[in-house]
Homo-oligomer: A and B are copies of this chain.
Amino acid sequence: MEQPLQHTIALLGRTPASLDAFLRELPEPLTRQNEGGDTWSAYDIVGHLVYAERTDWMPRAKMILEFGETRTFEKFDRLGQVKESQGKSLGQLLDAFARVRAANLNELRALNLQKEDLNRRGQHPSLGVVTLAQLLATWAAHDLTHLHQLSRIMAHQYREAVGPWSAYLGVLKCAGHSSS
């Protein structure tokens, strides 16, 4: 297995436990707070990660291996988790994330991907041609984008409270860099 892929699998394997340790025992107001308007909370992020885990990464990887560029990926629904999370507690979502992530990584390892597999190409509905290597790198970078967003959401409550220390706190200056 290529070293970058081993690193990616290692990172992907740590996200559920890290989020669990951070979020499960926090008071609910903290995990439901957002950055105002229709922005996301920690709860929304975990729901989104579960939904992406089920509908995005491995289904697309398998589509590349099976159909190459001849079949375009299903579009990813960025709000797909709203319906699916309904009525679920944060603890249930964290459990689901750990379960589905572990199953996906088992499936990924079992593919025993070789260098030539990683160069195989698929068709993204908006981005055009992408490779399997790019998809797998994006899976990990997507986790990290949401950890980055999560730290910013949790820091939001302290924007005023820190007083003059805001000058030293990078996270309070982050306005986000994309829709997520």
Contact = CB atoms under 8 A, between A and B. Distances in A.
Contacts of A65: none
Contact of A177 (B135, B165, B171): B171
B27 A22 contact: no
A3 to B, nearest CB: 8
Dominant secondary structure at the A interface: helix
B21 A14 contact: yes
A98 to B, nearest CB: 11
A22 B14 contact: yes
B17 A163 contact: no
Contacts of A11: 26, 30, 154
Interface in A118-148: 124, 127-128, 130-131, 133-135, 137-138, 140-142, 144-145, 147-148
A106 interface: no
Interface residues of A, number: 62
B141 A165 contact: yes
A37 interface: no
A172 interface: yes
Interface string A144-165: 1101111110110110011111
Contacts of A19: 18
A136 B171 CA distance: 16
Contacts of A17: 21-22
A173 interface: yes
Given A21-B21, A27-B6, A162 B174 contact: no
A142 B177 CA distance: 20
Nearest to A145: B171
B164 A141 contact: no
